Amino acid sequence: MGFKHLKAMALATATSTAALLASAANAVEIEYWQYFFDARVQAMEQLIENFQAANPDITVKMTHFPYADYRTKVAAAIPAGEGPDVVQLFYGWLNDYVEAELIQPLPADAFPASMVDEEFFPMVQAMKEGDQYWALPTAVRSLALFYNERLLEEAGVEPPTTLDETVEAARAMTKVDGAGNVTQVGITAGMTAQDHHWWREVLVRQFGGEPYTDDYRTVAYNSDAGVEALKFYVGMAEGDEPITAFGFMDEPQAAFKAGRAGMHIDGSFRIGSLNNTRGLNWGVSELPATSDGTRSNYSSYWVNAITTKAEGEKYDAAVKFMQYVTSDEAMQIWLDVVGELPAKPSVGMTEANANNEVFGPFIRGLAYANTTKFANESGQRQLMVEMVERITLQDMDPAESLAIAAEAEQKLLNEYYAD
C-alpha cells in the first residue's frame, strides 16, 4: 500500500472523526415527560429509538413519574425553565395547561388545522382553538367489556351482548363464602377506575338521558334517566344476590388480572398489561347494549404538546419529534404495544385493525362514542365517587345522592367557566 494511499486513509479517518465530533457538539437534547404506565413507557422507548435513528443530531431523554405526582411535577418544572420540551397530558387538562402557560400552540406550517381536521378522528378537534391546535394524540381510547374465558366456561355462560345478559352472566360467575362475603365478583365496580365514564357517557344515555347540555357546561343527569342509571349501577352490589362489591381487591383491574373477576369494563390501554399477565385467558367485546340495541361509548385520549420551555433549536427538535409521534408508523407501534387506538382513520380503519378480535371492539366503539369535555377531570370524577359512597356507606337514597352530586358539579362548572 503506497504512502499516498495511507495518507489519504488517514485524512479520511481524521475527517470522519472530526465530523462525528462536530455532530456530537451540535447535537440537541430534548426532554419528554409522561406518567408511568409500563406499556406506554415501552412504546415510547421504541418510538424514541426510531426517531433518533432517523435524526442522529437529536437526542430524546424520557422521564416518567407516578400518575399521582405527574401534574404537580409538570406544573413546578416548566415555569422554572426545567423539565420537558414535549409533554404528555390528558385531553381534559388542556385548558389548565394553556391558562398556566405551560404549553404553546403547534406551529401552523408543520400542523395546519386543515390537515389535522382531515387526517385525524374528529374528537381531536377538542384540542383546537380558532385555526390552531395546541396538542395532538398518538392514540385515542374507547371502552369495552373484558371477560375471563375460564370463568365464563366454568359458569356455562357466553360473553354477554346486552345489559340484561351481563347481569345474568355476572350472577353465574359470582362466588360468596359461608359468611356471605364475596370472594369472586361477576363484574368489577369502582368509580375511581373507568366506571365514572361508563356511568356518565354510557348508562345515562342508554337509560334515555344526557349527561350534560350546553357543550358540557350544564349538568343534565339529575333526571329520571340518571336516577335509573345510578340504581342499575349501584344495584349490582346490592340485594340478595350481588354480582360485584365496591372496593373488591382495592382496584377493579387488579381483581380482573388476578382471575377473581368474571368481567371488567376498561379502556383499550389495558390490553398491553393484560397481554403480559401470565395464566389469564381473556377476551373482549363491545360494551353491552340495551335490550333494544341502544349503544353508547366513551372516548378519551392523551395528547403530546410542546411546552413553553422549548425555544430555539430545542423548539425545532420538539416540532420534529411531535411530527414523528403523530405519524402513521408511531400510531401502529402504539397500538401493538399499548393497545390504544390510532388517532387517524388511515391506521385505525385498516381491515386488519378494524376486524382484529382484540382491537376491533374498541375501534368499532369509536363510531358511537362521546368525549366528555372536562373542566376539572379529577374533581368531577371525585364527585362521582362520593355520589356512590353516600349510597353504599350511608344508605342514602340514590335520587338524593344524585341531586347532591349534580349541584356540586354544576357549581364547579359555573366557577370554572366564569373565570
What is the mean pLDDT of each successive set of 10 residues along the chain, which is 419 residues long?
48 46 67 93 97 97 94 94 96 90 97 96 88 95 96 97 98 92 96 96 98 95 98 95 94 96 94 88 97 94 96 98 98 90 91 90 88 89 98 97 98 92
Measured between alpha carbons, how far is 38 from 376 in angstroms, rounded to an integer? 26
Query: For residue 271, which of 144, 138, 82 has the smallest C-alpha distance?
Result: 144
pLDDT of residue 54: 97
Per-residue model confidence as pLDDT tens digits over 229-247: 999 999 999 988 999 999 9
* pTM recorded for the entire structure: 0.79
The class (CATH top level) of 144-298+373-418 is alpha beta
Task: Return the bridge partners of 137, or none.
Answer: 303
DSSP structure class, residue 104: E
Angle between helical axes of 328-337 and 38-54 (0-180°, round to 10)? 150
C-alpha distances in Å from residue 194, one per residue of 16, 240, 323, 363, 406: 55, 26, 30, 17, 19
- The whole-number pLDDT of residue 340 equals 87
β-strands 136-137, 139-148 pairing: unpaired
Residues of the chain with CATH 3.40.190.10: 29-140+300-369, 144-298+373-418
Backbone angles phi, psi at 54, to 5 degrees: -85, -20
Check if the beta carbon of residue 314 is closer than 8 Å to that of residue 322. no
Per-residue pLDDT, 181 = 87
Grid coordinates given for 201:
357517557
What torsion do the CA atoms of 395, 399, 404, 409 make, to the nearest 10 degrees?
A: 130
User: CB-based contacts of 37: which residues, under 8 Å, 6+ apart?
Assistant: 67, 269, 338
In this prediction, residue 2 carries a pLDDT of 52
**276 - beta bridge partners?**
none
Instruction: Count the Cβ atoms, other than its own, within 10 Å of residue 68.
Output: 8
CATH number of 29-140+300-369: 3.40.190.10
For 184, the enclosing helix (H) or strand (E) is: strand 182-187
In terms of DSSP H, where are the helices of 209-311? 224-235, 252-257, 271-275
Q: What is the pLDDT of residue 75?
A: 94
